Structure 1
């Protein structure tokens, strides 16, 4: 069995996760509040599985990046994947900020507060940079040090979460503080979410080292199933026992809000399930969706949240749909977003070239208008904005 076939299940997980994210964002953003009833069985099931999506997405992102990072024979700075990873991490950060840019605000000379908020792309980009940093520091010292620090990172971030989540980091600029606290409205923060990326990276190291073993999948499926079930069923009780034995308050806090380890159990079970049925996951469309997650995310964000203009579905239909309309709309939304993303991937080079030309033409027209109207302050503002956006675009395009 070749390596490409062995990784089909990863692309299938990515496809499943991105489609789950699409329906989750659509329904959560547009469903009328009167229908958000936790006592309703269907809503509770939907809400639970919606919460599985982000941990799976972070874990699989760490897995696939690290698998490619350690795949070749070259190590350290000689590894070409280091440069590609640095570029990818910075690209995700740039796209994250670009999607939160409102052009109308820029024309008024301001960046809205939402621009500084941290979302999934920021955290995945920073997680990639973090994995690279750990790799460069450890890879030449001891072959066990790299996976060891990855595993320890997950455990420390998850166990210490009740302690550090209370800090608002008011002493930092808001741009930086938003990576560490949700106080200002960030959707994700690098801690504890890096923990899912690092456990994904740890799993990929194990997977890579034993990839030629005849029993890789049976052992992986069995181990992940047992660990997943144990985390779901017994992790809360385990931390309660630790509190009773040690008297350390942090363990009791984990017991009362044990979402990180429970979600990790969900992740392990998802991985085990997709590994189990990996032979049926080589459908071309599924694999294309799994390899187009960034394009799907960007397009969904523009349509749903109205990047650049603020005029998205969320603006017009915010918390206003019935369950029937929300479910039907989610299917249509998924279909349109996925088709657009796949078409974009097919014509990416040409579309990027045309977009760049359009930006240049728009720039020239604005400069001509400004020169004719003689508005030096506005001209200076727009030119500064233009240079910033062009730099972001070049980073995103490449």
Structure 2
């Protein structure tokens, strides 16, 4: 793994950055080495997400047929992959922080990361909607809000249960079952909580059911923390459980009152996490093979977007929709592309997003991270000084 790859980090879909697992020795598990399979999942998801959002460039009459249908199927796995990975990372680093005796420090660091996610989420809502004239748009829950708020709600649970990671894995699994299980009933929630519970207030990714993927991922993150060798088996177990629920689609559709099956039914989401878990197992196998790892790493921009997903999300949205001097990809090519032209414009969009993401990565690592480190040192010195003086006064 290159030093450049290890240094790259981001505060969004991997909101806690140090995700993941190294050698099997207990001491090594606290080092924060990464599982590249999860990084690759995130990087591939960013590329597919850009492709998804760029479909509006196609001519309307082309938005049908076999290719369109297949793309819609693949695109439906993007959000589950991101949210699952975010839950995995959050649980993993809380367990590592507790094991290193730095639980409070880890929680504060995670809160800062989540603050960055929610700040960018609010910025995007401000760019697209008149939030000052109509403040209700501030509370429109899109993917970033969903991730930030879901992780914020889960953080106290994960921090509290981080010392016994085996318990955390099973509690997280139970919470995932609860979230997915109650989601069809939440479609009828109205009032202040409606934005979090369903799409009745224009929320795209309400916490019910999408927050369930956080807890599914967290169950795997806790397993990775105490025994990385069991991680593929746990992912395989999630795959089998999802496949069983997927097969039981008719029964799960009938057990609930009338609801939007493709939005809230547990069987629909089971089909999604089953496919995400299958892809993860393939990536784990490639990670163990030097030739496979090299092959994945050669896919353009996968490792960049894997660890800079927040910047990738923000910049591709800006390039695609936000008009600067009258130009945006949507303004220039919206509803006008044939399939060949669409793929060419998509390559240009991905390349432009990658350049801006790389530049932001440099700014973040060279300016913001050193500044934050200095602030932490100042805070630690101020906090530690009284304790040291007290020890001196009471020394024999």
Unaligned 5+ runs, structure 1: 354-398
Q: Among 208, 233, 249, which residue is 1:236 paired with?
A: 249
Distance across 1 between alignment mates of 2:60 and 2:204: 20
Residue among 228, 237, 260 paired with 2:269: 260
Q: CA RMSD in A?
A: 3.4
1:126 maps to 2:143: no
Question: Structure 1 CA distance, aligned partners of 2:121 and 2:323?
Answer: 10
Matches within 5 A, 1:56-71: 56-71=81-96
For 1:96-133, what per-residue CA distance to the aligned partner results, in whole angstroms no more than 9, with x for missing partners? 01122249968xx6357644422111111112212212
Number of residue pairs matched by the alignment? 332
Distance 1:113 1:308 in 2: 26
Alpha-carbon separation, structure 2, partners of 1:310 and 1:328 = 21
**Equivalents in 2 of 1:104, 1:225: separation in Å?**
39
Give, in angstroms, the shift of residue 230 of structure 1. 3.8
Range 58-67 or range 45-54, more displaced: 58-67
CA distance in structure 2 between the aligned counterparts of 1:31 and 1:226, rounded to whole angstroms: 37
When residues 139 and 251 of structure 1 are mapped into structure 2, their CA distance, relative to the original with a 3 A threshold, is farther
Distance, in Å, in 2 between the alignment partners of 1:130 and 1:226 is: 28
Tell me, yes or no, if structure 1 residue 14 matches structure 2 residue 42.
yes
Question: Which residue is 2:112 aligned to?
Answer: 87
Aligned residue number for residue 364 of structure 1: none
Could you tell me how far 1:326 is from its partner in structure 2? 2.1
1:208 matched residue in structure 2: 225
Secondary structure at the counterpart of residue 100 of structure 1: helix
The within-5 A match list for 1:263-342 is 263-278=272-287, 279=289, 280-281=292-293, 283=297, 286-306=302-322, 312-315=328-331, 317-342=333-358
Aligned to 1:45: 70
Q: 8 Å contact 1:104–1:309 — kept in the other structure?
A: no
Which of these residues, 180, 186, 202, is aligned with residue 164 of structure 1? 186
Q: 2:201 and 2:314 mapped to 1: Cα distance?
A: 23
TM-score normalised over the length of structure 1: 0.72
Shift of 1:249: 3.7
> Aligned-pair distance for 1:139?
4.5
**SS of structure 1 residue aligned to 2:201:** coil
Is the CA contact (8 Å cut-off) linking 2:236 and 2:277 kept in structure 1? no
Q: Is residue 2:146 matched to residue 1:146?
A: no
Q: Partners of 2:115 and 2:249 in 1: how far apart?
A: 37
Give distance in 2, aligned partners of 1:103 and 1:324: 29
Deviations 1:231-280 (A, max 9, x none): 44x1315536xx5xxxx445998699532111121121121121121133
Q: TM-score, normalised by structure 2?
A: 0.73
Task: Please tell me whether residue 32 in structure 1 is matched to residue 59 in structure 2.
Answer: yes
Structure 1 residues 76 and 129, CA gap change in structure 2 (3 angstroms): farther
SS at match of 1:79: helix
- Asked if the contact 2:94–2:103 (Cα under 8 Å) also holds between the matched residues in 1, the reply is no
1:343 is aligned to 2:359: yes
**Aligned match of 2:16:** none
**8 Å contact 1:158–1:192 — kept in the other structure?**
yes
Distance change in 2, residues 1:75/1:228 (3 Å): same
Change (3 A) 1:307 1:266: farther
The equivalent residue for 1:392 is: none
Q: Unpaired segments of 5 or more residues in structure 2?
A: 1-21, 24-28, 370-396
**Is the alpha carbon distance of 1:227 and 1:251 closer, same or farther for their aligned partners in structure 2, counting shifts above 3 Å?**
farther
Q: Of 174, 182, 185, which aligns to 2:199?
A: 182
Conserved 8 A contact 1:20-1:50: yes
Mark the CA change 1:66 to 1:143 in structure 2 (over 3 Å): closer, same or farther: closer
C-alpha distance in 1 between matches for 2:214 and 2:326: 31
Alignment correspondent of 1:96? 121
